[in-house]
Structure 1
Amino acid sequence: MSKLPARRTATLTLAAAAALTLALVTSASANGPAAGTPALVAARAAAPAPSVSGSPESAFTRIADFYGAYIDAVYDGDGPTAERLRSFYLSDRLQAELKKWEEANHADGVLRAQNVPLGWKVASTGSGTGRTDATVTLTWASGTTKVYVQADLATRKIVSIRD
């Protein structure tokens, strides 16, 4: 690979910076008069970046973790991973209940559907009597459905899924 003289490299760097600046100014102008205003630029910079957090000690976090990972596995067609997730996150009793529900309904008992949602959201609906409750909203092309989930606070296992 040939090496450019230092002066030539500096000239190319300055030319690239000028072209980038021109592209940014042109883009701001093309997007309308307010697109590049300082207030709008500051508002975009202040918008929080998406984040996810949780705790391995939280039964609620376990519900959210399970639904996120399970939907990913089903979406990817990875049946063995979906089964391992069920085994890890769901109580033995719930796993048996889901098998019966699935045989009767010919659908996935966790999702209460035959297909995979486009998105999901888990919201806490409180805790009491040794359990934590959550509502899982599943987003489909045609709308949303809700699944009501309960986890045991001591074991952090999901013990109930109802629609």
Structure 2
Amino acid sequence: MRNKMRKAATIAVASGLLLGAGAAAPALAVSGSPPGVAHSHQASGPRADEAGVVHRVTAFWDQYKSAVLGTNPVMNPAEVRGEFLTPELNAELDAWAEANQADPVFRAQNVPADRTVRYEGSGMGYASVVVTQYWGDGSTNDVWYRVPLDGSRIAGLQDPPV
């Protein structure tokens, strides 16, 4: 299991670097890092499954942003979503986009300037990963991802729980 996660994390890092997506898959860092760097709630260091899910969400977000901006030389936004997300989640996001007239991943009509990614916790085979998006006007918003710990495709994406 750890080898599978390590391989998935390595692939996510490599694919992000090959696509020139900037800080494609940063290591988990301590709080207080600048935008674009992930955070962990554990001072003793992340476990392999935590790092794997954070890397997977980071790779998805960075490749998706690149595709939306037209700078991803390999995939368009639909192809990025198809590679990283379950078909069920893709259908939910299509419905959300139609209902809200906005990008379903960024949850807005424009593209964020930057992001941080942090592990929020896990249970019942899934992890919660939070992407905080930074906008040009200084505002932020959080998007929560539901990620299987077994290395399969991202299964959920939603606004913060209320």
For the criterion TM > 0.5, the same-fold answer is yes
Say whether 1:52 aligns with 2:26.
Answer: yes
Q: Which has the higher contact order (CA 8 A, sep 6+)?
A: 2
Name stretches of at least 5 consecutive residues in structure 2 with no aligned partner: 1-22, 29-47
The 5 A counterparts of 1:60-75 are: 60-75=54-69
How many pairs align? 114
The amino acid across from 1:64 in the alignment is T
Deviations 1:85-142, CA, capped at 9 Å, x for gaps: 1001001110010111111001111110111000011111012110011110111122
Q: What is the CA distance between 1:154 and its match in structure 2?
A: 2.1
Decide which moves more: 98-107 or 150-159. Answer: 150-159
Contact 1:151 1:158 in 2 (8 A): yes
Decide which moves more: 120-129 or 52-61. Answer: 52-61
In 2: Cα distance, 1:52 partner to 1:136 partner:
13
Contact 1:58 1:156 in 2 (8 A): no
In 2: Cα distance, 1:161 partner to 1:81 partner:
19
Q: Describe the SS at the equivalent of 1:117.
A: coil
The amino acid across from 1:113 in the alignment is A
Contact 1:148 1:161 in 2 (8 A): yes
Q: Describe the SS at the equivalent of 2:95.
A: helix
More helix by share: 1
Contact 2:70 2:76 in 1 (8 A): no
Say whether 1:82 aligns with 2:77.
Answer: yes
Q: What is the CA distance between 1:153 and its match in structure 2?
A: 1.6
1:98 to 93, 107, 121: 93
Contact 2:118 2:129 in 1 (8 A): yes
The 5 A counterparts of 1:1-163 are: 52-53=26-27, 58-76=52-70, 81-142=76-137, 143-163=139-159
The amino acid across from 2:99 in the alignment is A
In 2: Cα distance, 1:63 partner to 1:100 partner:
21
Sequence identity (%): 33
In 2: Cα distance, 1:81 partner to 1:53 partner:
26
In 1: Cα distance, 2:136 partner to 2:107 partner:
15
Structure 1 length as normaliser, TM-score?
0.62
Structure 2 length as normaliser, TM-score?
0.62
List 4+ stretches of structure 1 deviating above 4 A: 53-57
